[in-house]
Amino acid sequence: MSRLTELEARRRRLLARCERQRVELAERVEELKDGPVARALGGVLSGTAGRGVSLVRPLAWAAALAGLLLLRRPRQLLMLFELTRTALSFGSRAVVLLRLFEQLRSRRGARETAKS
């Protein structure tokens, strides 16, 4: 046997082996596509999940990224919680004051109409 025929035979064997591996990989990928995890992720990513949240929406991605960034920095996360708590506290106090002013105005208006 010449060197050329040996190389050609080896090439044919390698090509046949590659074809078998390609078919095997295609079968494995098909099994993964039909699996329950792939169906669940497909529903979530496409927005067709029944109870799940669609990850196609940009607001969901922004919230997820912000969550990841804040989880990596606990000091900033605590500061953000403190600022939020302070803002909510001031907001609730402002609502109480506005209601008080509204009641005072309504009483003053009732007095003026009673005098007239």
Q: How far apart are CA 14 and CA 8, in angstroms?
A: 10
pLDDT tens-place string over residues 75-105? 877 888 899 899 999 999 999 999 999 998 8
The pLDDT value given to residue 75: 82
Q: Choose among 28, 53, 57, 27: nearest CA to 41.
A: 53
pTM recorded for the entire structure: 0.35
Residue 2's pLDDT is 93
The set of residues, in sequence order, having a beta carbon less than 8 Å from that of 56 and lying 6+ positions away, is: 45, 46, 47
- Classify residue 49 as left (phi > 0), alpha (psi -120 to 50) or beta: beta
What confidence score (pLDDT) does residue 15 get?
96
pLDDT in tens, 38-80: 666 666 565 554 555 555 677 777 887 777 777 777 787 788 8
The domain segmentation of the chain, as residue ranges, is 73-116
| Cα-based distances in Å from 77 to 80, 85, 91, 112 | 5, 12, 21, 52
